[in-house]
């Protein structure tokens, strides 16, 4: 599991940097493949593929938010949070300065994936360049390096 001192430092750094919304992202991996979700076409950044991710609620720890968001977005249960893969900043649909913290995770079972907020999902082997934003490409490159 990720050390709580790292989680506290990440949160403190975001506060210092004026980040208004904390977000967590998960590189869910199984059998050499990574889970990607496709945003609804009528949503902010509609149609793009992304990592399972979501907002950290006020007072919620990053690791707890990660477990909750993966469950909410995919129906999958995290069995282990692994490596920290870095973060990236962006402006949310409402214009908030947001920072997404990304971690590798293992799940108890890779199926069934039950989508609540996305149009589609795919397990990709990352041999070909995935159809994701440049920021997510960097996270996936870090994942492949570890």
Domain boundaries, the chain: 4-145
List 27's β-bridge partners, or say none.
Answer: 104
Q: Using DSSP bridges, classify how beta strands 33-38 and 120-124 pair: parallel, antiparallel or unpaired.
A: antiparallel
Chain segment 20-57, per-residue pLDDT in tens = 999 999 999 999 899 999 998 887 777 889 999 999 99
- Kindly indicate the confidence band of residue 106, based on its pLDDT and cuts at 50, 70 and 90: very high
Q: What share of the chain has pLDDT > 70, as a percent?
A: 99
Residue 104: strand, helix, or coil: strand
Which pTM does this prediction carry?
0.93
How high is the mean pLDDT of the chain? 93
- Write down the architecture of domain 4-145 according to CATH: Alpha-Beta Complex (3.90)
d(CA 43, CA 110): 26
Which residue bears the tokens 């720890």?
A: 61
């Amino acid at each position: 599991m990720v050390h709580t001192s790292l989680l506290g430092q990440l949160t403190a750094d975001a506060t210092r940097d004026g980040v208004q919304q904390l977000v967590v992202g998960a590189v869910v991996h199984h059998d050499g493949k990574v889970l990607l979700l496709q945003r609804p076409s009528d949503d902010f950044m509609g149609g793009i593929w992304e990592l399972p991710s979501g907002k950290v609620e006020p007072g919620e720890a990053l690791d707890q938010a990660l477990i909750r968001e993966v469950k909410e977005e995919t129906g999958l249960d995290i069995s282990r949070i692994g490596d920290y893969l870095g973060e990236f900043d962006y402006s949310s649909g409402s214009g908030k300065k947001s920072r997404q913290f990304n971690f590798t995770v293992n799940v108890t079972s890779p199926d069934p994936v039950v989508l609540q907020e996305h149009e589609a999902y795919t397990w990709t082997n990352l041999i070909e360049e995935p159809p994701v934003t440049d920021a997510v490409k960097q996270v996936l490159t870090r994942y492949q390096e570890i």
